Every structure is written in structure tokens, then in C-alpha cells.
């Protein structure tokens, strides 16, 4: 019997964060939430920022609570976050201002400005990354375009999880999975696309060396260890991008499946040994992201439950403090297939009054306008399921084969209506679980880095042993197939 291995995972989502204690013993992983906190972007004078120092304070609180609850013997820790965003350091290693939020409007118009210098075709063929205005390359170019003093003073760029790792250890390094979200990495060579960076007049010297997912990059600094009463434990760059951490937890025993990492965003795709970069993948807006063991996750970014979250925020502001469970119950009572939205429409991207935006999309596309909360939520959930079907059709078109199973994981699977609707829309068996997929994947990558788990296949076997899954079968296939044809026409004619 092996000695229990204790690890600490910090998982940051776009609206909340958590510290999860994981204990691996006898081929089974158990998890315990040690600390949970909100992640609240701050809007100041028209700009949207992450409150990065408060978030680092919450990391320290998580370590402190772990120590004070009798778990000073943790063997490692790792941080995962959302992609694309970054902090800049000056020559003394000090942070230059609060990092911008990817929904900040400063990147409006920057894709077109970049294309004046580097074509869409060249940019996609080199990076294999979906062209999105939120990507790090366009964020950096917006700073150059506006002659930002922060960019002039910057000596180091660190993506959000790498920035937290630096705060914890003093080590500056870029983890592979998070680097692949930037649109600055050569997908084939897996190194910085220096020539493209130079063409755009961006400083290449601020980028650090890239380390593989699962690298032990340092130990908790003596100062922080002393402050928190902790040991100088190893800090691991697991998979800094939360999507890749979640994918590592897919409890699949084979290879023939599509995954949906379901939360604020929905990331839907397959794992592959090499990037897929061709005219069709570019036209259909698929992206290649690096994962564990240098695998490539060929996927599509879909706006996820952000739409429901934003609706809830608006209704909370209006005094109707309803839980997500209550909203799901109300949606179940609403009439099906009344109206659809395209979850990725530009109208729905920015924060603010999402119920109005959903109604406005329906008005613009000549559909009945959902009025009640239940109707609005049902419209969103059905639309997400339909977008998954559209993405699956595109993926199978690129691959030239049918994929029989959909694995859904992450906090979004708490919405059983979404899981069932996904099975209905795709006509596939849906296996849902685990809920805490990102934290579980983070912990399993740590266990691999420490040598306790020997392979990704073994890690997934342990996940299957440790966490239950729910299986959803297709229902009402005919009605969903008919509604899907309506959805495709609405998406095609949107304004």
C-alpha cells in the first residue's frame, strides 16, 4: 500500500476560484474543497481588469487554510486559469499594472489592423490558432497600436497561471498549454513564432522559455512559506490552461470520442498527436491547443454558460436572486424550440443585460421573442446544444469519420437539462463527469510530475475509479432534427 499523496490544486474560472485538496491512495483520488472565492473583474474608466493581487491573496488564503486544517504535508501545488491574458513585469520583476480582462474592448478592430501586416492565412497556418480578437497577440498589438507606456517598460510577459507561479516561486517560465492560447506559438515547431512577432513590431525578448506541461518549476518561496506556516513545497506548471487540465480528466478508456469542457466557455474537440491545419479547419474556426504529453487538442471555442451566468447577474441586480437550479426548473416548464440564439454572436460577447441581448438577437432574426426567465434560459440551453451539434458536424467533416460518444465534464454538467439536450441534439450517447474536471486533471498531472502516476492512460483509469458519471441517451430525435434545421438557418441569416 502506497503512502497517500496529498496535492493542492488552484483552479481559476472566469467568475470564481477554488483551492482543492487531492489525496491519491490505492489508485483512488479523493478531493476536498479547502477554499472558494469569487473572481470579480473590475471596470474602471471604460477598461476591464482582473483584480490580480486579490486573486493572489486568495491563493495564499487557500494555502493557509490547507495548513491550518492539518494538511501541512502536501507534496505539491499547481495553478490553472483561463487562457490568453497576461501580466507585464518591469526590469526589477515588478508587475506593471493590473492585467486586462480578455473582454476589454481595447482589442476591437485589432484583428483587421494585424491583417494589414500578416495575412489571416499566414497567421492561422503558422499558429493553428483560431483567429479571435481576445488572443494575446491582438492584445499586445493593441498596446503597440496605442503606444502603451506599459509595453515600452515591459521586460517580461507572463500568462496568468505563469504569473501566479512567479509570485509563488520567483521563477519566470511559460508553460506549454497556456502558450498555445496566445496566437504567438508555431504549432508545428512548438516554439515562439518569432518572425511573425517581429513583423508586427512586438518585443520578442519579453517572452520566456517554454516548459512542458507537468514541469516542476520551483518551490514555494521562503518568504511565503514562513508567512503561511507552510513547507517550501514544489510548485508544478501542470497544465496552466484550465481547458487542458480538464481534458486530462476525461474518464475515457479509448480514443474515439469528442469532449466538451463545459463551463463559462464550452471547449469541444478531440485529442490528436499532431496539429490539424488546413483550409477547412481555418474556415470552420477550429484551433489547435497544446496539452499534456505534448498532445494536440483540436477544438472549437464556443461561448458556454456565460450567457446564463450573465442573465443571472442581471436578474440579481434587479432583485430577483434565483439559483441556477431554480432557473433550470423554470426553463423545463417553458415551451421548447420557441427561439434560438447563436451563442458566439458578437452581440452576446460583452458583459451587461444579457436578457435584453437575447431578446434583441431574436428580434433581429425575426423569431418569437422569449419574455419570461424560463423562456430565456431555455432558449440559451437549447441553442448551446444545437451549437454542439453544429460543431460535431463540422468536426466529423474535417476528420472524415463519425464519432460515437460525447464526454462532457466540468461545472456545466450540473445542468442536467443541458446534458440531456446535448444527447438529443447530437444523437450521441453523452457521458457526463467529473464535475470538478479541471481540478481533478490538475491534480492528476501533478501526480504524473511527481512520478506517482506513470501515464495519462493510468491517470484516466484512476479518474474512472474515483468519480461517478451519468449517461444520457438521445430522446425525441425527430423533433430535435427538425429544430436543428431551423437553428442552422437562423445562425446563417443573423445580422
- In tens, the pLDDT along 392-435 reads 999 999 999 999 999 999 999 999 999 999 999 999 999 999 99
* 272 lies in the same domain as 151: no
- Domain presence at residue 227: yes
Which strand ranges, in their side-by-side order, compose the sheet holding 296-303?
A: 287-290, 296-303, 265-272, 258-262, 405-409, 429-432, 470-472
**230 and 259 housed in the same domain:** no
Burial of residue 64 (CB within 10 Å: 0-12, 13-18, 19+) is middle
- 441 is a domain residue: no
Q: Is 178 in the same domain as 47?
A: yes
430-485 pLDDT tens trace: 999 999 999 999 999 999 999 999 999 999 999 999 999 999 999 999 999 999 99
How does the average pLDDT of the chain come out, rounded? 96
Q: Does any domain span residue 185? A: yes
In a domain, 261, yes or no: yes
Give per-residue pLDDT as tens, 38-59: 999 999 999 999 999 999 999 9
460 in the same domain as 417 = yes
Give the confidence band of 494 by pLDDT, cuts at 50, 70, 90. low
The band of 493, judged by pLDDT with boundaries at 50, 70 and 90, is low
Give yes or no: residues 257 and 207 share one domain. Answer: no
% of the chain surpassing 70 pLDDT: 99
> For residue 379, is pLDDT > 90?
yes
Cα distances (Å, whole numbers) of residue 307 to 83, 314, 343, 348: 19, 11, 8, 7
**Hey, CA dihedral for 428, 431, 436, 440, is it positive or negative?**
negative
**Amino acid 351: pLDDT:** 87
**Any domain includes 444:** no
Q: Do both 355 and 389 map to the same domain?
A: yes
Is 445 inside any structural domain?
no
**CB–CB of 387/322 below 8 Å?**
no
- Same domain for 477 and 388: yes
To 10 degrees, what angle do helices 324-333 and 373-399 make? 90
Residue 196 sits in a domain whose CATH number is 3.30.420.40
Residue 350: the pLDDT is 85
245 located within any domain: no
Dihedrals phi, psi of 149, to nearest 5 degrees: -65, -25
Domain boundary pick from 237, 260, 294: 237
pLDDT tens-digit map of 112-155: 999 999 999 999 999 999 999 999 999 999 999 999 999 999 99
Among 211, 237, 263, give the residue marking a domain's end. Answer: 237
Residue ending a domain, choose from 237, 272, 298: 237
The confidence score (pLDDT) of residue 15 equals: 84
In whole angstroms, give the CA distance from residue 483 to residue 188: 40
Residues 185-218: pLDDT tens digits?
A: 999 999 999 999 999 999 999 999 999 999 999 9
Coil, strand or helix: which one is 307? helix
DSSP secondary structure string for all residues of 439-491: HHHHHHHHHHHTTSS--HHHHHHHHHHHS--EEE---SHHHHHHHHHHHHHHH
Per the domain annotation, does 308 fall within a domain? yes
72 and 140 share a domain?
Answer: yes
Residue 42, CA distances (Å) to 91, 100, 146, 306 in order: 27, 10, 21, 17
Residues 176 and 30 in one domain: yes
Q: Write the pLDDT tens digit of every residue in 213-251.
A: 999 999 999 999 999 999 999 999 999 999 999 999 999
Domain hosting residue 471, numbered range: 251-433+454-495
Tell me, yes or no, whether 256 and 368 share the same domain: yes
Assess contact for 213 and 177: CB atoms under 8 A. yes
Could you tell me where the beta strands, DSSP code E, fall in 2-85?
5-12, 16-25, 28-38, 42-44, 47-49, 76-80
Told to judge if 242 belongs to the known catalytic residues of this protein, a careful annotator would answer: yes
User: What's the number of domains the chain is made of?
Assistant: 2
Please tell me whether residues 258 and 229 are part of one structural domain: no
Q: What is the mean pLDDT of residues 254-278?
A: 94
Q: Which is catalytic among the residues 11, 80, 162, 242?
A: 242
Based on the fold, state whether residues 191 and 58 are members of the same structural domain: yes
Q: What is the pLDDT of residue 190?
A: 96
Q: Does residue 495 surpass a pLDDT of 80?
A: no
* d(C-alpha 365, C-alpha 98), whole Å: 39
Residues pairing with 89 in the sheet: 95, 156
Distance spanning both ends of the chain, measured CA to CA: 62
Integer Cα distance of 91 and 154 in angstroms: 7
**Residue 203: closest CA among 130, 137, 122:** 137
Q: Please check the confidence at residue 62 and state whether its pLDDT lies above 90.
A: yes
Amino acid at each position: 500500500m502506497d503512502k497517500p499523496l496529498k496535492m493542492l490544486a488552484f483552479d481559476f474560472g472566469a467568475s470564481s476560484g477554488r483551492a482543492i485538496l487531492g489525496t491519491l491512495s490505492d489508485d483512488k483520488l479523493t478531493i476536498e474543497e479547502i477554499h472558494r472565492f469569487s473572481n470579480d473583474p473590475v471596470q474602471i474608466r471604460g477598461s476591464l481588469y482582473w483584480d490580480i493581487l486579490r486573486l493572489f491573496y486568495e491563493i495564499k488564503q487557500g494555502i493557509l487554510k490547507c495548513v491550518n486544517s492539518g494538511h501541512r504535508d502536501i507534496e505539491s501545488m499547481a495553478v490553472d486559469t483561463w487562457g490568453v491574458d497576461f501580466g507585464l513585469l518591469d526590469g526589477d520583476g515588478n508587475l506593471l499594472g493590473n492585467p486586462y480582462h480578455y473582454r476589454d474592448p481595447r482589442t476591437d478592430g485589432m484583428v483587421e489592423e494585424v491583417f494589414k501586416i500578416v495575412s489571416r492565412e499566414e497567421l492561422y497556418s503558422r499558429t493553428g490558432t483560431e483567429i479571435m480578437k481576445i488572443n494575446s497577440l491582438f492584445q499586445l498589438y493593441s498596446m503597440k497600436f496605442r503606444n502603451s507606456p506599459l509595453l515600452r517598460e515591459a521586460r517580461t510577459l507572463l500568462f496568468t497561471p505563469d504569473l501566479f507561479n512567479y509570485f509563488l516561486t520567483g521563477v519566470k517560465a511559460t508553460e506549454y498549454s497556456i502558450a498555445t492560447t496566445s496566437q504567438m506559438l508555431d504549432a508545428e515547431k512548438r516554439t515562439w513564432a518569432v518572425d511573425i512577432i517581429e513583423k508586427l513590431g512586438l518585443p520578442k525578448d519579453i517572452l520566456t522559455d517554454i516548459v512542458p506541461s507537468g514541469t516542476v518549476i520551483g518551490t514555494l518561496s521562503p518568504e511565503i512559506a514562513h508567512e503561511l506556516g507552510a513547507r517550501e513545497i514544489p510548485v508544478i506548471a501542470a497544465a496552466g490552461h484550465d481547458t487542458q487540465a480538464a481534458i486530462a480528466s476525461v474518464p475515457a478508456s479509448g480514443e474515439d470520442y469528442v469532449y466538451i469542457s463545459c463551463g463559462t466557455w464550452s471547449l469541444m474537440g478531440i485529442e490528436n498527436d499532431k496539429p490539424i491545419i488546413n483550409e477547412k479547419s481555418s474556415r470552420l474556426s477550429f484551433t489547435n491547443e497544446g496539452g499534456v504529453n505534448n498532445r494536440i487538442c483540436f477544438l472549437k471555442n464556443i461561448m458556454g454558460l456565460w450567457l446564463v451566468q450573465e442573465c443571472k447577474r442581471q436578474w440579481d441586480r434587479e432583485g430577483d436572486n434565483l439559483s441556477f437550479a431554480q432557473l433550470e426548473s423554470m426553463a423545463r416548464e417553458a415551451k421548447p424550440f420557441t427561439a434560438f440564439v447563436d451563442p458566439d454572436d458578437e452581440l452576446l460577447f460583452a458583459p451587461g443585460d444579457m436578457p435584453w441581448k437575447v431578446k434583441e438577437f431574436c428580434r433581429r432574426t425575426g423569431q418569437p421573442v422569449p419574455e419570461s426567465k424560463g423562456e430565456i434560459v431555455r432558449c440559451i440551453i437549447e441553442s448551446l446544444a444545437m451549437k454542439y451539434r453544429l460543431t460535431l458536424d463540422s468536426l466529423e467533416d474535417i476528420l472524415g469519420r463519425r464519432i460515437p460518444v460525447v464526454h462532457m465534464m466540468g461545472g456545466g454538467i450540473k445542468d442536467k437539462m443541458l446534458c440531456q439536450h446535448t444527447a438529443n441534439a447530437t444523437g450521441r450517447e453523452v457521458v457526463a463527469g467529473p464535475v470538478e474536471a479541471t481540478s481533478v486533471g490538475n491534480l492528476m498531472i501533478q501526480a504524473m510530475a511527481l512520478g506517482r502516476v506513470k501515464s495519462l492512460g493510468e491517470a484516466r483509469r484512476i479518474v474512472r475509479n474515483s468519480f461517478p458519471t451519468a449517461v444520457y441517451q438521445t430522446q425525441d430525435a425527430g423533433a430535435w432534427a427538425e429544430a436543428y434545421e431551423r437553428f442552422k438557418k437562423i445562425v446563417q441569416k443573423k445580422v
